């Protein structure tokens, strides 16, 4: 297996139009399990025992060492590259037959031949406002596929987990799962994703024990909207304020970007071949460009966290806006009497990928 200390990845992160469906599902599942609001509060109390000061939602201790000792899969040079840049690419990590298996499953989901509990099926804001289009062309992303046995094979793939261990340890939780089907841009540039840090969406820490794996299912380059990264930006050790960008063509739901981002910051466009996999830190500043081709661009990803991580309170921090946005959607869906918060949603959908489930 050949590794490459350059280039890589395109990742359109977190929540879009179907976030309301997601929150509704979580709330319904949560309440059916708990049977009552009182039981919901008991679970909240359990989560709060694992909280730390809200200050840690913004400041992340920077020990200038982002990999773990005792894992031979990464060479000294590999570790130094990740420490310096915040991402690392492994060429050809996922074989073609596995990519075909995920793609076949995706096609069946799009055709509604398979229904997966908790899975969110999303459409780009431009597609959502257009006339109906059937099948794969109507779907830009499936999110939270952890309850699908075929798709979840990606999260438990030993080729991937042997690298994940070197970043976060042997007890591994799959926290956020996606298959991205980035659409051809209709001209409004809605297929792009603003520059952001993934940690903005995560109410758990420490950041250094979180890593994303993102695998290209086809060739990815600037023409179909590859990832743009700011190498080394994870070392600022701080979660920056995120807001909706003021884009004329509109922006997808929950696609927050860094406030006052300097577009002149040094950036690198990353290209990948099918099966290439990039691992990256949750504080790495990145986004993705417009897909100016006539085809869809597919990738599959999972955000992993050590099960030793803990949930945090984001009130009064840079994450409060995303937390409130999710909470408001929940109130409209299920009413004000259902008491659950940002952390509860993540607790419910987290799934063990390897080892022992502890705090998360």
Q: How far apart are CA 237 and CA 58, in angstroms?
A: 9
Q: How far apart are CA 358 and CA 44, in angstroms?
A: 16
Q: How far apart are CA 244 and CA 327, in angstroms?
A: 17
Phi-psi map region of 329: left, alpha, beta (phi>0 left; psi -120 to 50 alpha): alpha
The topology (CATH level 3) of 3-354 is Jelly Rolls (2.60.120)
Which DSSP state fits 221? -
Bridge partners of 238, per DSSP, are 59
**Residue 184 scores a pLDDT above 60:** yes
pLDDT-derived band of residue 202, with 50, 70 and 90 as boundaries? very high
Every domain of the chain and the residues it spans: 3-354
pLDDT-derived band of residue 163, with 50, 70 and 90 as boundaries? very high
| The pLDDT of residue 42 | 31
| The pLDDT of residue 290 | 87
Look at residue 253 and give its three-state secondary structure.
coil
Lowest mean per-residue pLDDT among 1-15, 172-186, 282-296 = 1-15
Q: How far apart are CA 120 and CA 18, in angstroms?
A: 7
Instruction: Dump pLDDT digits (tens) for 263-322.
Output: 888 899 999 999 999 999 999 999 888 899 999 999 999 999 999 999 999 999 999 988
Contact (Cβ atoms closer than 8 angstroms) between residue 182 and residue 289: no
pTM of structure: 0.82
Contact (Cβ atoms closer than 8 angstroms) between residue 278 and residue 87: yes
């Amino acid at each position: 297996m050949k590794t490459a200390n350059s280039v890589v990845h395109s990742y359109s992160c977190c929540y879009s139009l179907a976030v309301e469906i997601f929150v509704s599902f979580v709330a319904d599942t949560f309440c059916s399990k708990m049977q009552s609001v009182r039981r919901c509060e008991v679970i909240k109390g359990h989560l709060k025992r694992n909280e730390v000061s809200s200050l840690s939602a913004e400041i992340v201790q920077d020990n200038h060492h982002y990999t773990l000792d005792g894992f031979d899969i990464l060479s000294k040079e590999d570790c130094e590259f990740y420490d310096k840049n915040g991402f690392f690419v492994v060429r050809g990590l996922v074989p073609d037959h596995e990519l075909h298996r995920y793609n076949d499953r995706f096609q069946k989901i799009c055709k509604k031949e398979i229904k997966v509990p908790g899975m969110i099926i999303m459409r780009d804001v431009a597609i959502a406002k257009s006339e109906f289009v059937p099948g794969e062309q109507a779907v830009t992303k499936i999110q939270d596929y952890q309850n699908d046995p075929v798709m979840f094979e990606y999260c438990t793939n030993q080729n991937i987990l042997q690298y994940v261990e070197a970043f976060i340890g042997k007890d591994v939780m799959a926290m956020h799962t996606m298959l991205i089907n980035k659409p051809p841009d209709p001209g409004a540039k809605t297929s792009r994703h603003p520059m952001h840090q993934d940690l903005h969406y995560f109410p758990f820490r420490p950041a250094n024990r979180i890593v994303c794996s993102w695998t290209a299912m086809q060739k990815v380059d600037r023409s179909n909207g590859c990832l743009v990264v700011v190498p080394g930006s994870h070392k600022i050790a701080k979660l920056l304020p995120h807001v909706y960008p003021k884009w004329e063509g509109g922006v997808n739901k929950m696609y927050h970007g860094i406030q006052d981002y300097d577009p002149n910051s040094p950036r690198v466009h990353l290209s990948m071949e099918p099966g290439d996999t990039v691992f990256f830190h949750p504080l790495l500043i990145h986004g993705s460009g417009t897909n100016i081709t006539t085809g869809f661009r597919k990738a599959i990803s999972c955000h992993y966290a050590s099960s030793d991580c803990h949930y945090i309170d984001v009130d009064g921090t840079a994450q409060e806006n995303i937390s409130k946005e999710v909470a408001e959607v929940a109130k409209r869906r299920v009413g004000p009497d259902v008491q659950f918060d940002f952390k509860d949603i993540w607790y419910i959908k987290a799934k063990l990928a390897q080892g022992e489930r502890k705090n998360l």
